[in-house]
Structure 1
Amino acid sequence: MNTLQPQPRPAGSATTVTGFPVSHTAVDHTLSPAARAAVEAGVPASTRRAYAADWQGFTAWCASVGRVALPATARTVTEYAAHLTVTPSVKTGRPLAPSSIERVLTAIRSMHKAADVVAPETSGARKVLAGRREELALAHDPAATVRKATPALPAEIRRMLAGLDRASLAGMRDAVLVLLGYATAARSSELAALNIGDVTETAEGLVVTVYRRKIKKHTETAVPYGSNPATCPVRATRALLAALAEHGRTSGPLLVRIDRHGRLAPPIRRGGRAIGDPEGRMTAEAVADVVTRLAGAAGLPGDWSGHSLRRGFATAARRQGHALERIGRHGGWADGSRALLGYLEDADQWTENPVVGL
């Protein structure tokens, strides 16, 4: 089933507008393929894939136990939540974490809304999750806590860069990936989407046009020169751009695939077919892998991912005393972002600790 395809209501359904009867036909409740595709484009591809997989799991379970998936009852959803808390998943061999089951509930409700069907009540299912969270917490199970990326702070970034061969094309690219990703507080997908033309050098530094996917808008993010040349994002980006130009690349993706032989944008084939971006653009997953690899090579403990750069920026900026609004607008967070507030609370736990002075 298409994740966002609404089903038409019966022809002739009636309502009233300002007291006058209106009769809708099936056409009024139908979307054209073009309009449906436009709606789907407003939902991130990763979210669509996750919801589709969650919905497939729910419908398969409903079929196996003789329940109706669409429209589902509140008790069916509660029963499914209880099932997920005790059933090992194929991927990990453990039951899903409560946060993952929360996403499943959201997917089920989204599918109902997309089908123009009243979404089931989930209060019972969420009580199941509350009980599961407490059970995990009392057992000191790591699944009881929300997984957070380790923030990449300046000291960690210096260690990550120390092992790079900055004379090689791959080393130049990885340095820009880390430094520009940190300075712009970009997500992995936003970094991967950057083109050479999105970077403009000025007397003060760089202006980087970043498409912020969560708020669906471009931001022109100012990146000043760093005081230390080794960790200066402006100098690192300038070096990479010059190297790319020597290879005839003055447009296209900024961050590109480079193999172990130093070949730029080598072709990738699977089953005899070419795969991957033809211009060699790195994927968001590849960008995150670079961060994880560099942190591992530097011997840094923690849970490292592409999000470590974004979280590290917010934490370090807050510790330097910058205002929430400036941090949020620089990094493209939505006003009142709960994620950003969480990062700032982490930064404030020492500087604003209520125990100090007691």
Structure 2
Amino acid sequence: MTVVDGARGTELEPVEVVDAELMDDDVPAVGEAAVPDPVAAVLAALDTDAKDHLNRIRPKKTRDGYAQDWEKWRAFHAWLAAKTGVPLPLSSITVGTFVSFVTYLDQVVEAPPNTIERRITGVTSEVRSRGYTVPKEATEAARRALKPLKLDENRMKRGRGKGAAIAPADLRTMAEAPRERQPQPTARTRRVFVVPEVARLRDQALNSLKLAVAGRNEEMSVLDDAHVQVVDEGLKVYVPSVKGRPPRTVPVTYGENRATCPVRCWRAWQEAKLAAGADPEGPALLSVDQWGHLGNTRLSPDGVGRALARCAKYAGLTGRRITGHSARRGSVTTGIKKGKRVDKLRRQGGWSANSPVFWEYVDEGTMFEDAPTEGIGF
């Protein structure tokens, strides 16, 4: 716009007209340094602290597993760089890299499909924790590539396989098994190993209660005496939270057989434990050495699983793979066969409503219910 000087009749230099309402006071002038936004700085600091906090409260076993998954991802990148001659950044998460990762784990590492599936989850978590994006289509492609591998029987045999379900009848076989374990043919000492009485009582209480509450190894390990309350109907068991899962309080009733009744087995173990000088407010399940000496430390999660597997081995239950998870599986399959309500079984073991593992156990328990071959004239 040109302005005319009315007094002299001459034109002045053009003047730029700007609407003052459109001016932004926060925009620095030319040559002026930008002032950091304090709000953005605080939010960024809170985000960083939150990520650190969430990583710290993650269970150690999960952190260690994800760290192993990340090492496999690094090994895959080294292998890929040797093949292509081009090293890729570890943050390269694409459909191509994730599907190639599945192929690498399957054909080069020869990992079982279930392990590959967990590696995908671990790498995804680790990449995100480092501030990188994981496209949804990449993880979906990896799982599609994994699907046919999970249907291959030979590939599934690479892993240890799932633990077989146990039932109360199996617990009776364990309870009635001889307390003497004969030496192996290759044993250097030919003495007979006798299971101490206090260890036998602990294992009976552990195994029966584990089946009754469908307890995980970690849940049984962190149980304290205060968590198991004796009531007229049996036991009221508070199962603490582990790995971020919500705690639960579940009922345990008297059983029909003394050797496998979780209530009577628990009370017998408590009497023996207190007689040995254990803390009445301490851990529910304590370690016991081979001479029958009661320890003062709680039984570890691995120790919980080994106790059940050891009892099954001593009882001659060697035709199936019995692990610490067998009790959880057996709790559902046995309950379904006895007509127990699905929702109560799910709450007893603390499964989520959409847990695929739980519904797999339900299907297993109802396999012969109204079977397609029943009553059709065979």
**Mean alpha-carbon deviation: is it higher for 46-55 or for 348-357?**
348-357
1:83 is aligned to 104
Q: How does 1:132-281 map to 2 (within 5 A)?
A: 132-133=149-150, 136-137=152-153, 140-143=154-157, 147-163=161-177, 165=179, 168-213=197-242, 216-249=245-278, 250-265=280-295, 279-281=296-298
Give the alignment's Cα RMSD to 1 decimal: 2.5
2:27 is aligned to none
Query: Given the alignment of the two structures, is residue 342 of structure 1 paired with residue 372 of structure 2, yes or no?
Result: no
CA distance in 1, matches of 2:108, 2:178: 44
* Amino acid aligned to 2:101: Y
2:77 is aligned to 62
CA distance in 2, matches of 1:220, 1:123: 37
* Amino acid aligned to 2:233: E
Deviations 1:188-243 (A, max 9, x none): 11111111111111111111111243662222211111121121111111111112
2:119 is aligned to 104
Q: CA deviation at 1:25?
A: 3.4
Q: CA deviation at 1:142?
A: 4.1
Tell me the SS of whatever aligns to 2:240: strand
Give the TM-score normalised by the residue count of structure 1: 0.80
* Amino acid aligned to 1:55: W
CA distance in 2, matches of 1:223, 1:130: 39
Q: 1:215, 1:333 within 8 Å by CA — same for their partners in 2?
A: no
| Residue-pair matches, total | 315
Q: CA deviation at 1:23?
A: 8.8
Q: CA deviation at 1:35?
A: 4.1
Unaligned runs of 5+ in 1: 1-21, 89-94, 266-278
Q: CA deviation at 1:185?
A: 0.9
Q: 1:67, 1:76 within 8 Å by CA — same for their partners in 2?
A: no
CA distance in 2, matches of 1:297, 1:59: 43
Tell me the SS of whatever aligns to 1:349: coil
Tell me the SS of whatever aligns to 1:217: coil
Unaligned runs of 5+ in 2: 1-36, 82-86, 180-194
Q: 1:99, 1:146 within 8 Å by CA — same for their partners in 2?
A: no
- Which residue of 75, 92, 95 corresponds with 1:74? 95
1:288 is aligned to 305
**Mean alpha-carbon deviation: is it higher for 153-162 or for 120-129?**
120-129
Q: CA deviation at 1:96?
A: 0.5
* Amino acid aligned to 1:116: G
Q: 2:165, 2:327 within 8 Å by CA — same for their partners in 1?
A: yes
CA distance in 2, matches of 1:71, 1:158: 55
2:43 is aligned to 28
Q: 2:178, 2:315 within 8 Å by CA — same for their partners in 1?
A: no
CA distance in 2, matches of 1:257, 1:175: 14
**Mean alpha-carbon deviation: is it higher for 206-215 or for 233-242?**
206-215
* Amino acid aligned to 1:115: R
Query: Given the alignment of the two structures, is residue 44 of structure 1 paired with residue 59 of structure 2, yes or no?
Result: yes
Q: 1:192, 1:255 within 8 Å by CA — same for their partners in 2?
A: yes
Q: CA deviation at 1:178?
A: 0.5
CA distance in 2, matches of 1:321, 1:113: 45
2:328 is aligned to 310
2:342 is aligned to 324
Shift in alpha-carbon separation, 1:329–1:133, aligned structure 2, 3 A: closer
**Mean alpha-carbon deviation: is it higher for 166-175 or for 49-58?**
166-175
Shift in alpha-carbon separation, 1:257–1:131, aligned structure 2, 3 A: same
* Amino acid aligned to 1:86: Q
1:270 is aligned to none
CA distance in 2, matches of 1:62, 1:343: 38
Tell me the SS of whatever aligns to 1:207: strand
Tell me the SS of whatever aligns to 1:305: coil
Q: CA deviation at 1:38?
A: 3.6
Q: CA deviation at 1:357?
A: 2.5
* % identical aligned pairs: 29
